Amino acid sequence: MVGLISEYTQLRRSGKNWMGLCPFHSEKTGSFSVDAEDKLFHCFGCGVGGSMFSFVGLAENLPAFSDQVRFLGKRCGIEVPEDDGGYRETVPREKIREANKEAARFFFSSLTSSSEALGYLKKRELGMPLVRHFGIGYAPAGWDTLYKHMKHQGFDDDVLFASSLCRKNEKGLYDYFRNRLMFPIFDESGDNIVAFGGRIIGDGKPKYLNSTDTPVYTKSRVLFGMNFARKNCTESLILCEGYMDTVALHGAGFNNAVASCGTALTSEQARLMKKHTKKVYICYDADEAGQTNAQKAFEILNNAGLECSLVKVYGAKDPDEFIKKSGADAFRKLIENSVSRFDFEYGRIVAGVNMSDPDQKIKAADRIAVVLSKINGVVERDIYTRRAAEKMGITYEGLKNDVVRIIRNRDKSEAKQQNREIIMSTLGYGDRINSEAVGSRMAASPEEAIIGILGLHPELIAEAADGDVGLKPDDFVTTLNRRVFESMNELRSDFKISFIGDRFSQDEISRITGCIEARRFLSSNGTEEIKQCVRKVREYRSERELSLDDLLRQKREKDKKGERQ
């Protein structure tokens, strides 16, 4: 397990465990723990946790337990059969993948029979070798052309709807993509087509139409072109805004180009890039919207621990147009002259500022101090603070003091927010995973302690259930904890988190792991502690049932008075 997780984040030994920075959220101090003996991981910062199945599910965007098993089986050279019994879903993922593959074939064959589509390709200077490489196709303009083809190929309506290839109205299913140049979106490995992006041919809106999330596709976790770029990105990746930019860059020899799939860059996509490279060149459109998006991308990529800089496109609206106008060598020079995040943001702030006007200068200095405060490295922050002070003609000490003040105030604010969240969590408010804990905290807390102790020491499960404690599922007030105990009692001493991955959601698995980790460093985790917790839960249940009886009795008395009146 340590070897597996080390491929995603650097781990160091800490006692019997291994620690590192969490690959699932941004943090400066490592709070991510891996227990090599019990085969568990847990982040004390964001709360995510579970077995190695849970880990690959999160890291590789494989929400289905059966897909997690297959992923790890493939790593070990073990073939996992497709017929996985109880793990089947209403619409099997494999059926959706098959539908996407057949749809891609249909779109590609439709391309050569459409003069309009071929004319568009010629206009955009996309040669057939590049079209074949990416599997680009064409969705005909008819409302049900694809639907009829897919039905003829034996695909059911529920598969076509679940795959986002078709939409539904009162008349039935109809094609989602119509009169569009189609870009198949592959998973990271390149083995499966998981979605499509469609660019309108001619006028019309929306300009781009993208598959919605499906059982095999979550757009916030996938990058277009990553199936090709992952083989060419050891040193760096080029991040574009759109499909056409990515295709154009690959055509010019920049095989490390990728794009987010019709969505603003997400932290999940940044983590995917971090898995494959150490630096990202942001190459967005030259307009104001593109530069604003680049500013947001800097933040997300830096938080993921990636070095990044901006490629500024001159004399063209986007990388695609620049490549066509100026060629690959000119674009390579743009990369060589890319600017750092600070230089990029500094330029945007001082643009149009009259430095001889004290008010404008002060406002610009305040904004620059905020930018500097977001630089995590002390040395890097100090270098840029000196540079900014020199450029603006202000004192280094004054600008540095402003930056330190902003950082101190932000740290205080974050600490207060964390304290508020801890208090709310303790009271059970905002608990999406175990919503019944709200108002039942006096029962939920000892229940979680029971789950934690039994998860830490599975050999105590049989004793708790069959011994003098006599713990039963009905003792639990909250449904989640009752389900967990039922699973534990079924497995008894064989209990492991990895054995229940198909029965609980990832959030629930994280909660169970959290309960176990909360008990790991306590000295008392035996039968006596279980007895005390069971007694508290039973007392709470008795009091609640008693109060319900009182309410019912009062209601009956009120009803009787009403009848007499």
Using an 8 Å Cβ cutoff, are 73 and 79 in contact? yes
SS3 69: helix
Query: Is the domain of 494 the same as that of 541?
Result: yes
- Res. 164 pLDDT band, cuts 50 70 90: very high
Using an 8 Å Cβ cutoff, are 173 and 151 in contact? no
In a domain, 510, yes or no: yes
The predicted pLDDT at position 259 comes to 95
Query: Is the domain of 276 the same as that of 390?
Result: no
Query: Is the domain of 160 the same as that of 207?
Result: yes
Examine the pLDDT at 146 and tell me if it is beyond 80.
Answer: yes
Across 56-207, the runs of DSSP E, i.e. the strands, are: 137-139, 166-169, 172-175, 180-186, 193-200
Query: Is the domain of 267 the same as that of 368?
Result: no
Mean pLDDT value across the chain: 88
Domain that holds residue 156: 93-217
Distance CA 226, CA 60 (A): 13
- Res. 467 pLDDT band, cuts 50 70 90: confident
Which of 190, 217, 244 is at the close of a domain? 217
CA 375 to chain centre: 24
Examine the pLDDT at 421 and tell me if it is beyond 90.
Answer: no
- Look at the chain and report how many structural domains it folds into: 5
Q: Which of residues 439 and 104 earns the better pLDDT score?
A: 104
- Res. 85 pLDDT band, cuts 50 70 90: very low
The predicted pLDDT at position 80 comes to 78
Examine the pLDDT at 428 and tell me if it is beyond 60.
Answer: no
In a domain, 166, yes or no: yes
Could you read off the pLDDT of 474-507 as tens digits, one per residue?
999 999 999 999 999 999 999 999 899 889 999 9
The predicted pLDDT at position 50 comes to 93
> Range with the lowest mean pLDDT among 27-31, 150-154, 169-173?
27-31
Query: Is the domain of 313 the same as that of 247?
Result: yes
Consecutive H or E run containing 480: helix 479-491
First to last CA, the chain: 73
Which of 181, 200, 217 is at the close of a domain? 217
- Per residue, the 3-state secondary structure of 410-423, as one string, reads HHHHHHHHHHHHHH
> Range with the lowest mean pLDDT among 27-31, 85-89, 343-347, 468-472?
85-89
Residue 120 sits in a domain whose CATH number is: 3.90.980.10
Using an 8 Å Cβ cutoff, are 385 and 403 in contact? yes
In a domain, 560, yes or no: no
Of the chain, the percentage scoring pLDDT greater than 90 comes to 58
- Tokens standing for 481? 């904890």
Query: Is the domain of 398 the same as that of 414?
Result: yes
Distance CA 479, CA 473 (A): 9
DSSP state of 80: P
Residue 305 sits in a domain whose CATH number is: 3.40.1360.10
Distance CA 187, CA 60 (A): 10
Mean pLDDT of 255-281: 89
- Res. 186 pLDDT band, cuts 50 70 90: very high
In a domain, 558, yes or no: no
The predicted pLDDT at position 482 comes to 94
Query: Is the domain of 415 the same as that of 442?
Result: no
Which of 295, 312, 337 is at the close of a domain? 337
Query: Is the domain of 57 the same as that of 114?
Result: no
Query: Is the domain of 195 the same as that of 248?
Result: no
Query: Is the domain of 450 the same as that of 539?
Result: yes
The predicted pLDDT at position 86 comes to 42
- Tokens standing for 43? 């982040």
In a domain, 346, yes or no: no
Could you read off the pLDDT of 337-375 as tens digits, one per residue?
999 989 998 988 998 889 899 999 999 999 999 999 988
Could you read off the pLDDT of 376-386 as tens digits, one per residue?
778 989 999 99
Query: Is the domain of 444 the same as that of 534?
Result: yes
- Res. 425 pLDDT band, cuts 50 70 90: low
- Per residue, the 3-state secondary structure of 492-542, as one string, reads HHHCCHHHHCCCCCHHHHHHHHHHHHHHHCCCCCCHHHHHHHHHHHHHHHH
The predicted pLDDT at position 559 comes to 65
Distance CA 201, CA 198 (A): 9
Distance CA 140, CA 155 (A): 19
The predicted pLDDT at position 87 comes to 42
In a domain, 430, yes or no: no
Residue 81 sits in a domain whose CATH number is: 3.90.580.10
In a domain, 233, yes or no: yes
In a domain, 63, yes or no: yes
Query: Is the domain of 529 the same as that of 416?
Result: no
